[in-house]
Amino acid sequence: MKLYEIAHSRTGDKGNISTISLIPYMDGFYDQLVKEVTEEKVLEQFRHIGATKVERYLIPSLHSMNFVIHDTLGGGVTRSLALDTHGKSLSSLLLEMEIKMPCFCTVKDPGVENQLSLKIREQKSPDNRWKDTVCCIARAYNPAVRNHDVIFYGASNFSLWESMEEDLKPYSVQNHAFGGSTDKELLMWAESMLYPYEPCFVFFQTGSNDYVESKAPTEAEKVAEAMAFKKEMFIELHKKLPGTSFIVMSGILLPGREEYTAMTLNINEQLKAFCETKDYMHYIDAEALTYDRNTGKFTDHVKDLFLDDQIHLTPEARRIWAEKWILPAMDKLVTPTPMR
């Protein structure tokens, strides 16, 4: 994403030196900006106009930073032949930088927000446990700037995928997943997380959170309850997004939730059958990433695919997930659009 989507800037000058401040719209973005907007990257951004050295000064008390960039003003105000002798427009050059921004970052303070994130902030909901995260996603992907993309929507094995936009090039994708979300929460937040963006495709990864949290007394009732709501969710989303295709990923079989294996397999079968009845839905069977139905066992070395909790995929496992199942589906169904 572009730096201007999550931060603003002001510029000053002293001789042949430009000073540029960088202030995130939300304090919660600061730590990631410290990692992403380094002296080396800024120097590379300004090298073509003569920059020879960059010094960065962090101001954590204000969640901001200041860059001192040498030899960028053509000798200074009294010598430069440029129209912008003070270099005021150089803030725009900084804000054009490409950065990686995980959309699950913690929002500490709303700061200055776009219209969508401000609307979310003002909402009063009986369940606000994801409100800050959803605000962060809205700031990371401003619908006034990014729309008609492919959106990934679901729980933590999507939300923790920090390198998604890089891994899925040349497709223009957005990561709108949040934490341990349930289908009910996905539907509740669709008003903010899906509808304003008018996506061309939505990838869904709805795992075991629904039946893990279910109070139904038996496994059969948990499965029936989960499937009934999944169907309701997809039908309701289609009403609001009639021109959008839904791509449903099979639930991941998790060693850390081995007791739910039979339920996940059952729901995967029902999800596949349901998708086959809807012309706007496609099912991707990626169970083989972690599970072999023929043997009824987890695949060899499956534990190497997960973090220590044996629930969340490693970056390498996500790369395999993308290369074997997600990208082939996108190649078949999605027309690449320029990354924005």
Give the tens place of pLDDT for each residue, 208-258: 888 888 889 999 999 999 999 999 999 999 999 999 999 999 999 999 999
pLDDT at 309 over 90: no
Query: CA of 92: how far to CAs of 24, 46, 118, in Å?
Result: 14, 11, 24
Query: Residue 146 in contact with residue 196, Cβ under 8 Å?
Result: no
Averaged pLDDT of the chain? 87
CATH number corresponding to 3-95: 3.30.1360
Least confident of 94-103, 156-165, 312-321: 94-103
What's the whole-number mean pLDDT along residues 299-308?
91
CA distance 153 to 181: 10
DSSP 8-state secondary structure symbol assigned to residue 250:
P
Same fold, 3-95 and 142-333: no
Q: Residue 78 is encoded by which pair of tokens?
A: 């009294």
Lowest mean pLDDT among 77-81, 147-151, 166-170, 217-221: 77-81
To which residue do tokens 């951004």 refer? 45
What CATH number labels 142-333?
A: 3.40.50.1110
DSSP of 189-207: HHHHHTGGG--SEEEEE--
Q: How far is CA 267 from the centre of its chain?
A: 26
Looking at this protein, which amino acid is placed at residue 140? A
Domain boundaries, the chain: 3-95, 142-333
Within the chain, strands assigned E span 7-14, 17-24, 53-59, 64-70, 150-154, 173-175, 201-205, 245-249, 281-284, 291-292, 297-298
Mean pLDDT, residues 320-331 taken together: 96
In whole angstroms, give the CA distance from residue 331 to residue 171: 9
pLDDT at 7 over 70: yes
pLDDT at residue 248, rounded to an integer = 97
Q: Is the pLDDT of residue 277 over 60?
A: yes
Given a cut of 90, whether residue 25 has pLDDT beyond it is no
Res 101: pLDDT: 64
| Cα–Cα nearest to 236, from 200, 197, 189 | 189
pLDDT at 137: 83
For the segment 186-210, the average pLDDT, to the nearest whole number, is: 91
Strand, helix or coil at 298?
strand
Using the predicted structure, report yes or no on whether residue 339 has a pLDDT greater than 60.
Answer: no
Q: Which residues does 296 contact at the CB level (< 8 Å), separation at least 6?
A: none
Contact status, residue 85 vs residue 62, Cβ threshold 8 Å: no
- At 122 the pLDDT is 58
Report the alpha-carbon distance of residue 262 to residue 63 in Å, rounded.
48
**From the DSSP assignment, how many helices (H) and strands (E) are in the chain?**
13, 11
